[in-house]
Amino acid sequence: MAAAKRAVVALGGNAISLPGQEDTIANQFANTRRSLDGIIDLARDGFQLVVSHGNGPQVGNALLRVEETRGKAPVLPLGVLVADTEGGMGYMIEQSLMNRLREERLDRSVATVITQMLVDRNDPAIADPSKFVGQWYSADDAKLYSETRGWQMKEDGKRGWRRVVPSPIPVRAIAADTIRTLVERDTIVIAAGGGGVPVFETEDGKLEGLDAVIDKDHASAVIGQEIGATVLCILTSVESVCLNFGEPNEQQLGTVTVNEMKAYLDAGHFPKGSMGPKVRAAISFIEQGGEMVVVTSFTMARDAIKGAGGTRIVPD
């Protein structure tokens, strides 16, 4: 199943919504267009591709709209909001990518797949929600919503209390066969947006949604394994993974083995809220047969794969 030039490209959440910028659709389209250089470079090099993306700001906005219209419009569960943003953001990426491919005279089709991701209903993360979603509330409101809506609430810094939901590890993509078939036909597939929609299997084998969020880098690693990708590109706002990030002794990592990354992770170099999930997803991808994980900026994917910049994680 493995192809010599098959890759999954995971676009970071800041590819489409930039911190400090008004989050209009016009700005999101402009940012999307600017984030495509690495994908175009890989397409030009003949890679078969799956593209995933983050959706944190977009889901946050969707949750805010639900709150503002509560009592006037039906309340939408988190899983439906993830699916909504997969479709909307998939449309933006798909249209922008199609236009860019035509400009570059690259004859490739593009398709968006709303992706359900299977999780283990017994995953410990489900019993211990830790992912903050939505807006901040006062302690009194947090108590009220915990009692009336069944939300689990935790204090988030000095700004107040927020809802927390589980973030289980994905097991497989329900549409894996469809994604693989499209990829084998050289279609660039946009899948697992925001990590995909979390679902679990009931005892009689039916699928049910879950109010949870899945890390998009873990979802990307799973899809990479399922389609036989040899490369996982995690594109973010920084050029390389660093040790002692932000400190005077900061050190950029070039080519690193998976066991070296495990040691750095155990030593606490990669915080849970930033580079940690990316490194864990990279380790999982390599241990399941992947040949390389590249972590770099949006414009550096092609160069990083070839060893000119970025961080490359490889088997021992």
Question: What pLDDT, in 10s, does the model give residues 241-283?
Answer: 999 888 899 899 999 999 999 999 999 999 887 899 999 999 9
Catalytic residue among 14, 194, 224, 290: 14
Tell me whether residue 131 is one of the annotated catalytic residues.
Answer: yes
Residue bearing the bigger pLDDT, 16 or 142: 142
**130 has a pLDDT exceeding 60:** yes
Asked whether the beta carbons of 181 and 102 are under 8 A apart, the reply is no
**What is the pLDDT, as a whole number, of residue 2?**
44
By percentage, how much of the chain surpasses pLDDT 70?
A: 99
Catalytic residue among 38, 54, 90, 216: 216
Catalytic residue among 27, 61, 88, 131: 131
* Neighbouring residues of 306: CB distance < 8 A, sequence distance ≥ 6: none
Task: Give the pLDDT mean for 95-119.
Answer: 97
Angle at 97 between CA 91 and CA 100, to 5 degrees: 140
**What is the pLDDT, as a whole number, of residue 3?**
46
Residue bearing the bigger pLDDT, 313 or 237: 313
For the chain, list the domains and their CATH numbers: 6-121+169-314 (3.40.1160.10), 129-165 (no CATH)
Catalytic residue among 56, 278, 290, 309: 278
**What is the pLDDT, as a whole number, of residue 272?**
82
**163 has a pLDDT exceeding 70:** yes
**1 has a pLDDT exceeding 50:** no
Angle at 220 between CA 199 and CA 245, to 5 degrees: 120
**What is the pLDDT, as a whole number, of residue 74?**
95
Tell me whether residue 13 is one of the annotated catalytic residues.
Answer: yes
Catalytic residue among 12, 13, 194, 196: 13
- DSSP for 66-84, written as a single string: HHHTBTTBPPPPHHHHHHH
Q: What single-letter amino acid sits at 213?
A: V
Question: What pLDDT, in 10s, does the model give residues 205-252?
Answer: 999 999 999 999 999 999 999 999 999 999 988 889 999 888 899 899
Confidence category of residue 157, pLDDT binned at 50, 70, 90 = confident
Angle at 132 between CA 94 and CA 221, to 5 degrees: 45
Question: What pLDDT, in 10s, does the model give residues 2-58?
Answer: 445 999 999 987 778 888 888 899 999 999 998 898 899 999 999 999 999 999 999
